[in-house]
Structure 1
Amino acid sequence: MSLFGLSEPVIRLLAFSTIFITLAAIELAAPRLERDEMRGALKSRRWVTNLAMVVLSSVALRIVFPLAAVGTALWAQSNGLGLFPMLGLPAWVAGILAFIVLDFAVWLEHVVSHKWPLLWRIHRMHHADTGFDLTTALRFHPLEIVLSMIWKAAVIIALGAPPVAVLVFEIVLNGAAMFNHANIKLAKSVDAVLRLVIVTPDMHRIHHSTDLRETDSNYGFNLAIWDRLFSTYTQAPRLGNTGIEIGLAEWRDSRTAGLVWTLVLPFRFPPKPRPPRKPDQ
Protein backbone atom coordinates (compact mmCIF):
# COMPACT_ATOMS: atom_id res chain seq x y z
CA MET A 1 0.00 0.00 0.00
CA SER A 2 1.25 3.50 -0.82
CA LEU A 3 0.03 7.09 -0.45
CA PHE A 4 1.49 10.13 -2.21
CA GLY A 5 4.10 7.85 -3.73
CA LEU A 6 5.30 6.67 -0.30
CA SER A 7 5.03 3.10 0.94
CA GLU A 8 3.21 2.33 4.19
CA PRO A 9 6.42 1.58 6.18
CA VAL A 10 7.97 4.88 5.03
CA ILE A 11 4.83 6.83 5.97
CA ARG A 12 4.80 5.28 9.42
CA LEU A 13 8.52 5.84 9.95
CA LEU A 14 8.23 9.51 8.95
CA ALA A 15 5.25 10.01 11.26
CA PHE A 16 6.99 8.24 14.15
CA SER A 17 10.23 10.19 13.72
CA THR A 18 8.47 13.55 13.47
CA ILE A 19 6.34 12.96 16.57
CA PHE A 20 9.23 11.49 18.58
CA ILE A 21 11.65 14.34 17.82
CA THR A 22 8.99 16.99 18.50
CA LEU A 23 7.99 15.52 21.86
CA ALA A 24 11.62 14.91 22.88
CA ALA A 25 12.38 18.58 22.25
CA ILE A 26 9.36 19.68 24.31
CA GLU A 27 10.37 17.34 27.14
CA LEU A 28 13.79 18.98 27.27
CA ALA A 29 12.32 22.49 27.18
CA ALA A 30 9.41 22.05 29.61
CA PRO A 31 9.53 18.79 31.62
CA ARG A 32 6.59 17.99 33.90
CA LEU A 33 8.67 15.97 36.37
CA GLU A 34 12.36 16.35 37.13
CA ARG A 35 13.57 13.17 38.79
CA ASP A 36 16.74 11.08 38.73
CA GLU A 37 15.03 8.48 36.53
CA MET A 38 14.38 11.11 33.87
CA ARG A 39 17.79 12.73 33.61
CA GLY A 40 21.48 11.87 33.45
CA ALA A 41 22.91 8.37 33.14
CA LEU A 42 19.79 6.55 34.33
CA LYS A 43 17.68 8.34 31.70
CA SER A 44 20.17 7.33 29.01
CA ARG A 45 20.03 3.70 30.17
CA ARG A 46 16.24 3.74 30.19
CA TRP A 47 16.11 5.26 26.71
CA VAL A 48 18.49 2.64 25.30
CA THR A 49 16.34 -0.15 26.77
CA ASN A 50 13.02 1.34 25.72
CA LEU A 51 14.17 2.14 22.18
CA ALA A 52 15.69 -1.34 21.87
CA MET A 53 12.24 -2.76 22.58
CA VAL A 54 10.93 -1.07 19.42
CA VAL A 55 13.61 -2.75 17.33
CA LEU A 56 13.16 -6.17 18.94
CA SER A 57 9.36 -5.98 18.68
CA SER A 58 9.53 -4.92 15.03
CA VAL A 59 11.78 -7.87 14.22
CA ALA A 60 9.53 -10.30 16.13
CA LEU A 61 6.45 -8.96 14.36
CA ARG A 62 8.10 -9.21 10.95
CA ILE A 63 8.94 -12.87 11.63
CA VAL A 64 5.70 -14.00 13.30
CA PHE A 65 3.09 -11.75 11.67
CA PRO A 66 4.56 -10.10 8.56
CA LEU A 67 1.18 -8.85 7.26
CA ALA A 68 0.76 -6.52 10.27
CA ALA A 69 -2.39 -4.38 10.56
CA VAL A 70 -2.50 -2.68 7.16
CA GLY A 71 -1.52 -5.87 5.33
CA THR A 72 -4.34 -7.69 7.11
CA ALA A 73 -6.81 -5.00 6.03
CA LEU A 74 -5.64 -5.28 2.42
CA TRP A 75 -6.00 -9.07 2.54
CA ALA A 76 -9.52 -8.84 4.02
CA GLN A 77 -10.49 -6.25 1.40
CA SER A 78 -9.23 -8.39 -1.48
CA ASN A 79 -11.30 -11.31 -0.19
CA GLY A 80 -14.44 -9.28 0.54
CA LEU A 81 -14.37 -10.17 4.23
CA GLY A 82 -15.96 -8.33 7.12
CA LEU A 83 -19.11 -6.66 8.37
CA PHE A 84 -18.69 -3.31 6.63
CA PRO A 85 -18.47 -4.70 3.06
CA MET A 86 -21.42 -6.95 3.86
CA LEU A 87 -23.48 -3.91 4.88
CA GLY A 88 -22.31 -1.93 1.86
CA LEU A 89 -21.25 1.06 3.97
CA PRO A 90 -19.70 4.09 2.24
CA ALA A 91 -15.91 4.13 2.63
CA TRP A 92 -15.91 7.25 4.82
CA VAL A 93 -18.52 5.80 7.21
CA ALA A 94 -16.66 2.50 7.40
CA GLY A 95 -13.42 4.40 8.04
CA ILE A 96 -14.82 6.40 10.96
CA LEU A 97 -16.49 3.36 12.51
CA ALA A 98 -13.33 1.29 12.08
CA PHE A 99 -11.26 3.93 13.87
CA ILE A 100 -13.67 4.05 16.82
CA VAL A 101 -14.08 0.28 17.14
CA LEU A 102 -10.32 -0.32 16.88
CA ASP A 103 -9.70 2.24 19.60
CA PHE A 104 -12.19 0.47 21.85
CA ALA A 105 -10.56 -2.88 21.02
CA VAL A 106 -7.15 -1.56 22.12
CA TRP A 107 -8.68 -0.17 25.34
CA LEU A 108 -10.34 -3.53 26.04
CA GLU A 109 -7.12 -5.41 25.34
CA HIS A 110 -5.34 -3.14 27.82
CA VAL A 111 -7.93 -3.83 30.53
CA VAL A 112 -7.67 -7.58 29.97
CA SER A 113 -3.87 -7.42 30.14
CA HIS A 114 -4.23 -6.13 33.70
CA LYS A 115 -6.92 -8.61 34.76
CA TRP A 116 -5.56 -11.91 33.42
CA PRO A 117 -2.49 -13.02 35.42
CA LEU A 118 -0.64 -14.55 32.45
CA LEU A 119 -1.10 -11.44 30.31
CA TRP A 120 -0.19 -9.21 33.25
CA ARG A 121 3.14 -11.04 33.57
CA ILE A 122 3.95 -9.82 30.06
CA HIS A 123 2.39 -6.37 30.31
CA ARG A 124 3.95 -5.48 33.66
CA MET A 125 7.24 -4.88 31.82
CA HIS A 126 5.66 -1.67 30.53
CA HIS A 127 4.79 -0.63 34.08
CA ALA A 128 8.19 -1.52 35.56
CA ASP A 129 9.68 1.69 34.15
CA THR A 130 10.28 3.96 37.17
CA GLY A 131 10.50 6.93 34.84
CA PHE A 132 7.71 8.30 32.69
CA ASP A 133 8.47 9.90 29.34
CA LEU A 134 7.76 9.35 25.67
CA THR A 135 10.06 6.30 25.51
CA THR A 136 7.85 4.56 28.08
CA ALA A 137 5.25 4.39 25.30
CA LEU A 138 7.68 2.20 23.36
CA ARG A 139 8.47 -0.14 26.26
CA PHE A 140 6.41 -3.22 25.42
CA HIS A 141 7.62 -6.80 25.41
CA PRO A 142 7.85 -8.38 21.92
CA LEU A 143 5.42 -11.07 23.11
CA GLU A 144 2.83 -8.42 23.92
CA ILE A 145 3.31 -6.69 20.57
CA VAL A 146 2.72 -9.95 18.69
CA LEU A 147 -0.36 -10.84 20.77
CA SER A 148 -1.71 -7.32 20.34
CA MET A 149 -1.29 -7.53 16.56
CA ILE A 150 -3.15 -10.85 16.43
CA TRP A 151 -6.02 -9.27 18.35
CA LYS A 152 -6.10 -6.19 16.12
CA ALA A 153 -5.94 -8.35 13.00
CA ALA A 154 -8.96 -10.35 14.18
CA VAL A 155 -10.93 -7.13 14.71
CA ILE A 156 -9.83 -5.73 11.33
CA ILE A 157 -10.96 -8.88 9.51
CA ALA A 158 -14.26 -9.04 11.41
CA LEU A 159 -15.03 -5.43 10.47
CA GLY A 160 -13.57 -5.43 6.98
CA ALA A 161 -11.87 -2.19 8.01
CA PRO A 162 -10.66 -0.01 5.10
CA PRO A 163 -6.85 -0.18 4.76
CA VAL A 164 -6.48 3.62 4.76
CA ALA A 165 -8.46 3.84 8.01
CA VAL A 166 -6.23 1.19 9.56
CA LEU A 167 -3.11 3.08 8.50
CA VAL A 168 -4.47 6.32 9.98
CA PHE A 169 -5.44 4.51 13.18
CA GLU A 170 -1.99 2.95 13.60
CA ILE A 171 -0.25 6.30 13.11
CA VAL A 172 -2.63 8.12 15.48
CA LEU A 173 -2.41 5.37 18.11
CA ASN A 174 1.40 5.41 18.11
CA GLY A 175 1.50 9.20 18.20
CA ALA A 176 -1.13 9.41 20.93
CA ALA A 177 0.72 6.85 23.06
CA MET A 178 3.95 8.85 22.82
CA PHE A 179 2.05 12.05 23.62
CA ASN A 180 0.25 10.73 26.70
CA HIS A 181 3.45 9.18 28.07
CA ALA A 182 5.47 12.33 27.40
CA ASN A 183 7.05 14.17 30.32
CA ILE A 184 5.65 17.50 29.21
CA LYS A 185 3.90 20.27 31.07
CA LEU A 186 0.48 21.38 29.80
CA ALA A 187 -1.46 24.33 31.17
CA LYS A 188 -4.33 23.16 33.41
CA SER A 189 -6.88 24.79 31.14
CA VAL A 190 -5.44 23.07 28.07
CA ASP A 191 -5.29 19.70 29.83
CA ALA A 192 -8.89 20.07 31.03
CA VAL A 193 -10.16 20.64 27.49
CA LEU A 194 -7.99 18.00 25.81
CA ARG A 195 -8.89 15.22 28.26
CA LEU A 196 -12.53 15.58 27.30
CA VAL A 197 -11.58 13.99 23.98
CA ILE A 198 -8.10 12.43 24.18
CA VAL A 199 -5.86 10.99 26.87
CA THR A 200 -3.37 13.55 28.22
CA PRO A 201 -0.03 12.91 29.99
CA ASP A 202 -1.42 13.92 33.41
CA MET A 203 -4.35 11.58 32.85
CA HIS A 204 -2.33 8.54 31.77
CA ARG A 205 0.48 9.03 34.29
CA ILE A 206 -2.04 8.04 36.97
CA HIS A 207 -2.27 4.61 35.35
CA HIS A 208 1.48 4.16 35.97
CA SER A 209 1.17 4.77 39.71
CA THR A 210 2.47 2.19 42.19
CA ASP A 211 -0.93 2.51 43.91
CA LEU A 212 -3.00 -0.34 42.45
CA ARG A 213 -6.21 1.64 42.89
CA GLU A 214 -4.79 4.12 40.40
CA THR A 215 -3.14 1.53 38.16
CA ASP A 216 -6.58 -0.01 37.65
CA SER A 217 -7.85 3.16 35.99
CA ASN A 218 -7.23 5.39 32.97
CA TYR A 219 -6.53 2.53 30.55
CA GLY A 220 -7.04 4.61 27.41
CA PHE A 221 -4.23 5.30 24.94
CA ASN A 222 -6.10 7.60 22.57
CA LEU A 223 -9.80 8.44 23.02
CA ALA A 224 -10.76 9.39 26.57
CA ILE A 225 -14.38 8.27 26.36
CA TRP A 226 -13.91 4.61 27.25
CA ASP A 227 -12.67 5.12 30.82
CA ARG A 228 -15.52 7.51 31.54
CA LEU A 229 -18.06 5.21 29.92
CA PHE A 230 -16.94 2.15 31.90
CA SER A 231 -16.22 3.96 35.20
CA THR A 232 -12.45 3.42 35.13
CA TYR A 233 -11.60 7.12 35.04
CA THR A 234 -9.55 8.79 37.78
CA GLN A 235 -9.33 12.57 37.74
CA ALA A 236 -6.11 13.05 39.74
CA PRO A 237 -3.59 10.93 41.69
CA ARG A 238 -3.82 10.84 45.47
CA LEU A 239 -0.27 12.19 45.87
CA GLY A 240 -0.74 14.86 43.21
CA ASN A 241 0.65 15.06 39.69
CA THR A 242 4.17 15.88 40.87
CA GLY A 243 4.20 13.60 43.94
CA ILE A 244 2.98 10.42 42.27
CA GLU A 245 5.23 7.35 42.63
CA ILE A 246 5.69 5.66 39.24
CA GLY A 247 6.40 2.01 38.44
CA LEU A 248 5.80 -1.27 40.26
CA ALA A 249 5.97 -1.44 44.05
CA GLU A 250 7.80 -4.79 43.79
CA TRP A 251 10.77 -3.42 41.84
CA ARG A 252 12.09 0.02 42.70
CA ASP A 253 15.81 -0.05 41.85
CA SER A 254 17.83 0.81 38.75
CA ARG A 255 17.66 -2.77 37.42
CA THR A 256 14.34 -1.85 35.82
CA ALA A 257 16.30 0.24 33.29
CA GLY A 258 18.38 -2.73 32.10
CA LEU A 259 17.62 -4.41 28.77
CA VAL A 260 18.20 -8.04 29.76
CA TRP A 261 16.41 -7.64 33.09
CA THR A 262 13.46 -6.09 31.28
CA LEU A 263 13.23 -8.82 28.64
CA VAL A 264 13.10 -11.63 31.21
CA LEU A 265 10.68 -9.84 33.56
CA PRO A 266 7.65 -11.90 32.40
CA PHE A 267 9.43 -14.98 33.77
CA ARG A 268 10.39 -13.45 37.13
CA PHE A 269 8.54 -13.78 40.42
CA PRO A 270 8.15 -10.70 42.61
CA PRO A 271 10.71 -10.56 45.42
CA LYS A 272 9.53 -11.89 48.75
CA PRO A 273 8.95 -9.23 51.39
CA ARG A 274 11.61 -9.08 54.07
CA PRO A 275 10.54 -10.52 57.44
CA PRO A 276 9.96 -7.91 60.13
CA ARG A 277 13.05 -7.10 62.13
CA LYS A 278 13.02 -8.55 65.62
CA PRO A 279 13.49 -6.05 68.41
CA ASP A 280 16.81 -6.22 70.22
CA GLN A 281 16.68 -8.36 73.33
Structure 2
Amino acid sequence: MNLDRLYELNDGHLLPKVGLGTYQIRGYQGVDQILSAIQSGYRLLDTSTNYDSEGAVGEAIRRSGVPRSEFYVTTKLPGQYHHFDDALQIIEESLLRLGLDYLDLYLIHWPLPKRDTYVEAWQALIEAKKRGLVRSIGVSNFEKEHLDKIIAITGVTPAVNQNEIHPYWPQESLVATNQEYGIVTEAWSPLGRGSSELSEPVIVNLAEKYGKDTGQIILKWHLQRHILPVVRTISPQHQRNNLDIFDFTLTEDEVSQITNLESVDGRIDDQDPKEYEEFG
Protein backbone atom coordinates (compact mmCIF):
# COMPACT_ATOMS: atom_id res chain seq x y z
CA MET A 1 0.00 0.00 0.00
CA ASN A 2 1.26 3.48 -0.90
CA LEU A 3 2.68 5.37 2.08
CA ASP A 4 0.58 8.42 1.16
CA ARG A 5 -2.49 6.29 1.90
CA LEU A 6 -1.29 5.44 5.42
CA TYR A 7 -1.26 7.29 8.72
CA GLU A 8 1.74 6.86 10.98
CA LEU A 9 0.79 6.31 14.62
CA ASN A 10 2.66 7.76 17.59
CA ASP A 11 4.12 4.30 18.28
CA GLY A 12 5.60 3.99 14.79
CA HIS A 13 3.01 1.60 13.37
CA LEU A 14 0.86 2.42 10.34
CA LEU A 15 -2.85 2.38 9.51
CA PRO A 16 -4.60 2.77 6.15
CA LYS A 17 -6.43 6.09 5.81
CA VAL A 18 -9.80 4.38 5.23
CA GLY A 19 -11.12 1.36 7.13
CA LEU A 20 -14.01 -1.07 6.84
CA GLY A 21 -16.47 -1.17 9.74
CA THR A 22 -18.20 -4.48 10.46
CA TYR A 23 -21.06 -3.42 12.75
CA GLN A 24 -24.07 -5.67 11.94
CA ILE A 25 -21.96 -7.68 9.47
CA ARG A 26 -21.81 -11.25 10.75
CA GLY A 27 -22.18 -14.92 9.88
CA TYR A 28 -21.46 -16.49 6.51
CA GLN A 29 -23.14 -13.61 4.70
CA GLY A 30 -20.82 -11.31 6.61
CA VAL A 31 -17.80 -13.33 5.49
CA ASP A 32 -18.81 -12.79 1.87
CA GLN A 33 -19.36 -9.06 2.44
CA ILE A 34 -15.97 -8.65 4.08
CA LEU A 35 -14.31 -10.71 1.34
CA SER A 36 -15.83 -8.36 -1.22
CA ALA A 37 -14.31 -5.41 0.62
CA ILE A 38 -10.91 -7.10 0.79
CA GLN A 39 -11.07 -7.71 -2.95
CA SER A 40 -11.88 -4.02 -3.39
CA GLY A 41 -8.69 -3.13 -1.55
CA TYR A 42 -9.60 -2.73 2.13
CA ARG A 43 -6.92 -3.82 4.56
CA LEU A 44 -8.03 -2.07 7.77
CA LEU A 45 -10.84 -4.21 9.22
CA ASP A 46 -12.59 -2.81 12.30
CA THR A 47 -14.62 -5.12 14.53
CA SER A 48 -15.59 -5.44 18.19
CA THR A 49 -16.51 -8.17 20.64
CA ASN A 50 -19.88 -6.41 20.90
CA TYR A 51 -20.42 -6.55 17.12
CA ASP A 52 -20.32 -10.37 17.10
CA SER A 53 -18.37 -10.13 13.86
CA GLU A 54 -14.89 -11.21 14.98
CA GLY A 55 -15.40 -14.73 13.64
CA ALA A 56 -16.53 -13.45 10.24
CA VAL A 57 -13.56 -11.09 10.01
CA GLY A 58 -11.10 -13.86 10.82
CA GLU A 59 -12.68 -16.27 8.34
CA ALA A 60 -12.68 -13.64 5.59
CA ILE A 61 -8.97 -13.01 6.17
CA ARG A 62 -8.22 -16.74 5.90
CA ARG A 63 -10.30 -17.17 2.74
CA SER A 64 -8.94 -14.04 1.06
CA GLY A 65 -5.56 -15.46 0.11
CA VAL A 66 -4.01 -12.17 1.22
CA PRO A 67 -1.11 -12.56 3.69
CA ARG A 68 -1.99 -11.79 7.31
CA SER A 69 0.84 -9.25 7.38
CA GLU A 70 -1.04 -7.02 4.92
CA PHE A 71 -4.05 -6.60 7.21
CA TYR A 72 -4.62 -4.13 10.02
CA VAL A 73 -7.16 -5.73 12.35
CA THR A 74 -8.88 -3.75 15.10
CA THR A 75 -11.22 -4.97 17.82
CA LYS A 76 -12.51 -3.46 21.06
CA LEU A 77 -12.92 -4.06 24.78
CA PRO A 78 -16.53 -4.32 26.06
CA GLY A 79 -17.49 -2.45 29.20
CA GLN A 80 -18.12 -5.56 31.25
CA TYR A 81 -14.43 -6.48 30.97
CA HIS A 82 -12.76 -3.29 32.21
CA HIS A 83 -11.10 -4.99 35.17
CA PHE A 84 -7.45 -5.88 34.55
CA ASP A 85 -7.56 -9.70 34.47
CA ASP A 86 -10.92 -9.76 32.66
CA ALA A 87 -9.57 -7.44 29.98
CA LEU A 88 -6.50 -9.58 29.32
CA GLN A 89 -8.63 -12.72 29.06
CA ILE A 90 -11.14 -11.18 26.66
CA ILE A 91 -8.28 -9.94 24.47
CA GLU A 92 -7.07 -13.53 24.28
CA GLU A 93 -10.65 -14.63 23.57
CA SER A 94 -10.88 -12.15 20.70
CA LEU A 95 -7.70 -13.58 19.21
CA LEU A 96 -9.19 -17.07 19.46
CA ARG A 97 -12.40 -15.95 17.76
CA LEU A 98 -10.48 -14.20 15.01
CA GLY A 99 -8.00 -17.07 14.67
CA LEU A 100 -5.08 -14.64 14.81
CA ASP A 101 -1.83 -14.53 16.75
CA TYR A 102 -1.92 -10.78 17.34
CA LEU A 103 -4.10 -7.70 16.89
CA ASP A 104 -2.87 -4.62 15.06
CA LEU A 105 -4.99 -2.28 17.15
CA TYR A 106 -7.07 -2.77 20.29
CA LEU A 107 -9.38 -0.10 21.70
CA ILE A 108 -11.36 0.45 24.89
CA HIS A 109 -14.83 0.72 23.35
CA TRP A 110 -16.36 3.25 25.80
CA PRO A 111 -14.92 5.01 28.87
CA LEU A 112 -18.03 4.43 31.06
CA PRO A 113 -16.92 7.15 33.52
CA LYS A 114 -19.78 6.45 35.94
CA ARG A 115 -18.09 3.10 36.63
CA ASP A 116 -14.66 4.73 36.57
CA THR A 117 -12.64 1.62 35.72
CA TYR A 118 -11.28 2.81 32.39
CA VAL A 119 -7.82 3.52 33.85
CA GLU A 120 -7.60 -0.11 34.97
CA ALA A 121 -8.73 -1.16 31.50
CA TRP A 122 -6.04 1.03 29.96
CA GLN A 123 -3.40 -0.54 32.20
CA ALA A 124 -4.53 -3.95 30.92
CA LEU A 125 -4.09 -2.81 27.31
CA ILE A 126 -0.59 -1.59 28.13
CA GLU A 127 0.18 -5.05 29.52
CA ALA A 128 -1.36 -6.76 26.47
CA LYS A 129 0.98 -4.77 24.25
CA LYS A 130 3.97 -5.76 26.38
CA ARG A 131 2.94 -9.42 25.99
CA GLY A 132 2.77 -9.11 22.20
CA LEU A 133 -0.99 -9.71 21.98
CA VAL A 134 -1.51 -6.26 20.48
CA ARG A 135 0.74 -4.02 18.40
CA SER A 136 -1.00 -0.70 18.99
CA ILE A 137 -3.45 0.34 21.70
CA GLY A 138 -6.03 3.08 21.76
CA VAL A 139 -9.44 4.16 22.91
CA SER A 140 -12.87 4.89 21.51
CA ASN A 141 -15.38 7.55 22.50
CA PHE A 142 -12.94 9.13 24.96
CA GLU A 143 -13.33 12.83 25.72
CA LYS A 144 -10.48 15.15 26.71
CA GLU A 145 -10.94 14.52 30.44
CA HIS A 146 -10.72 10.75 29.92
CA LEU A 147 -7.58 11.09 27.80
CA ASP A 148 -5.98 13.44 30.32
CA LYS A 149 -6.61 10.98 33.14
CA ILE A 150 -5.20 7.82 31.56
CA ILE A 151 -2.14 9.63 30.22
CA ALA A 152 -1.43 11.34 33.54
CA ILE A 153 -1.73 8.11 35.54
CA THR A 154 0.05 5.69 33.18
CA GLY A 155 2.33 7.91 31.11
CA VAL A 156 1.14 6.06 27.99
CA THR A 157 -0.70 7.97 25.25
CA PRO A 158 -3.23 6.13 23.06
CA ALA A 159 -2.26 5.72 19.41
CA VAL A 160 -5.88 6.15 18.25
CA ASN A 161 -9.12 7.65 19.53
CA GLN A 162 -12.19 6.49 17.59
CA ASN A 163 -15.10 8.92 17.90
CA GLU A 164 -18.47 9.69 16.37
CA ILE A 165 -17.64 12.25 13.68
CA HIS A 166 -19.65 13.30 10.63
CA PRO A 167 -20.79 16.65 9.15
CA TYR A 168 -23.58 17.12 11.69
CA TRP A 169 -21.15 16.28 14.53
CA PRO A 170 -17.65 17.39 13.43
CA GLN A 171 -16.10 17.47 16.93
CA GLU A 172 -13.55 20.19 16.15
CA SER A 173 -12.40 20.59 19.76
CA LEU A 174 -11.90 16.87 20.34
CA VAL A 175 -10.10 16.40 17.03
CA ALA A 176 -7.77 19.25 18.04
CA THR A 177 -7.16 17.59 21.43
CA ASN A 178 -6.29 14.30 19.74
CA GLN A 179 -3.89 16.08 17.42
CA GLU A 180 -2.21 17.90 20.32
CA TYR A 181 -1.54 14.54 21.95
CA GLY A 182 -0.32 13.02 18.67
CA ILE A 183 -3.33 10.68 18.61
CA VAL A 184 -4.82 9.66 15.26
CA THR A 185 -8.55 10.34 15.17
CA GLU A 186 -10.76 7.65 13.68
CA ALA A 187 -14.39 8.38 12.79
CA TRP A 188 -17.20 5.90 13.33
CA SER A 189 -20.39 6.50 11.33
CA PRO A 190 -18.42 8.98 9.19
CA LEU A 191 -21.31 9.36 6.74
CA GLY A 192 -23.93 9.86 9.44
CA ARG A 193 -25.62 6.43 9.36
CA GLY A 194 -28.85 6.93 7.41
CA SER A 195 -29.04 10.66 8.08
CA SER A 196 -29.77 13.41 5.60
CA GLU A 197 -26.12 14.48 5.46
CA LEU A 198 -25.63 12.76 2.11
CA SER A 199 -28.31 15.01 0.58
CA GLU A 200 -27.16 18.33 2.06
CA PRO A 201 -27.05 20.89 -0.79
CA VAL A 202 -23.46 21.95 -0.09
CA ILE A 203 -22.31 18.32 -0.33
CA VAL A 204 -24.45 17.61 -3.40
CA ASN A 205 -22.98 20.67 -5.13
CA LEU A 206 -19.43 19.58 -4.33
CA ALA A 207 -20.17 16.08 -5.64
CA GLU A 208 -21.29 17.61 -8.94
CA LYS A 209 -18.20 19.86 -9.06
CA TYR A 210 -15.71 17.03 -8.54
CA GLY A 211 -17.57 14.24 -10.35
CA LYS A 212 -17.88 12.18 -7.16
CA ASP A 213 -20.78 10.87 -5.09
CA THR A 214 -21.75 12.62 -1.88
CA GLY A 215 -20.26 9.87 0.28
CA GLN A 216 -16.88 10.40 -1.37
CA ILE A 217 -17.07 14.13 -0.64
CA ILE A 218 -17.71 13.49 3.05
CA LEU A 219 -14.91 10.94 3.28
CA LYS A 220 -12.51 13.40 1.64
CA TRP A 221 -13.62 16.01 4.20
CA HIS A 222 -12.51 13.57 6.91
CA LEU A 223 -9.13 12.93 5.31
CA GLN A 224 -8.43 16.63 4.89
CA ARG A 225 -9.09 17.03 8.63
CA HIS A 226 -6.50 14.25 9.19
CA ILE A 227 -9.22 11.83 10.31
CA LEU A 228 -9.41 8.13 9.45
CA PRO A 229 -13.00 7.21 8.49
CA VAL A 230 -14.19 3.68 9.28
CA VAL A 231 -17.00 3.05 6.82
CA ARG A 232 -19.56 0.29 7.01
CA THR A 233 -21.02 -0.72 3.63
CA ILE A 234 -22.06 -4.06 2.16
CA SER A 235 -22.43 -2.79 -1.42
CA PRO A 236 -19.42 -3.76 -3.57
CA GLN A 237 -19.84 -0.56 -5.60
CA HIS A 238 -19.90 1.62 -2.49
CA GLN A 239 -16.92 -0.28 -1.11
CA ARG A 240 -14.93 0.59 -4.21
CA ASN A 241 -16.17 4.19 -4.30
CA ASN A 242 -15.18 4.77 -0.68
CA LEU A 243 -11.56 4.03 -1.54
CA ASP A 244 -11.62 6.17 -4.70
CA ILE A 245 -11.05 9.48 -2.93
CA PHE A 246 -7.36 10.17 -3.47
CA ASP A 247 -7.57 11.92 -6.84
CA PHE A 248 -9.11 15.25 -5.83
CA THR A 249 -8.75 17.88 -3.11
CA LEU A 250 -11.37 20.09 -1.49
CA THR A 251 -10.46 23.72 -0.89
CA GLU A 252 -10.10 24.94 2.69
CA ASP A 253 -13.32 26.91 2.26
CA GLU A 254 -15.17 23.81 1.07
CA VAL A 255 -13.93 21.85 4.09
CA SER A 256 -15.21 24.67 6.30
CA GLN A 257 -18.58 24.69 4.54
CA ILE A 258 -19.07 21.03 5.42
CA THR A 259 -17.86 21.53 8.99
CA ASN A 260 -20.39 24.36 9.36
CA LEU A 261 -23.22 21.84 8.93
CA GLU A 262 -22.73 21.06 12.62
CA SER A 263 -25.96 20.66 14.60
CA VAL A 264 -26.40 20.97 18.38
CA ASP A 265 -28.32 17.68 18.33
CA GLY A 266 -26.13 16.13 15.66
CA ARG A 267 -25.28 12.91 17.51
CA ILE A 268 -26.87 9.89 15.86
CA ASP A 269 -28.18 8.16 18.98
CA ASP A 270 -27.45 10.86 21.56
CA GLN A 271 -24.65 8.73 22.99
CA ASP A 272 -22.75 11.16 25.20
CA PRO A 273 -19.51 9.44 26.33
CA LYS A 274 -19.73 11.29 29.65
CA GLU A 275 -23.09 9.65 30.36
CA TYR A 276 -23.44 6.62 28.11
CA GLU A 277 -23.66 3.26 29.85
CA GLU A 278 -22.76 0.47 27.44
CA PHE A 279 -24.39 -2.08 29.74
CA GLY A 280 -26.77 0.25 31.56
TM-score, normalised to structure 1, is: 0.23
The two structures have a TM-score, normalised by structure 2, of 0.23
Structure with greater proportional strand content: 2
Q: RCO greater where, 1 or 2, for CA within 8 Å and sep 6 or more? A: 1
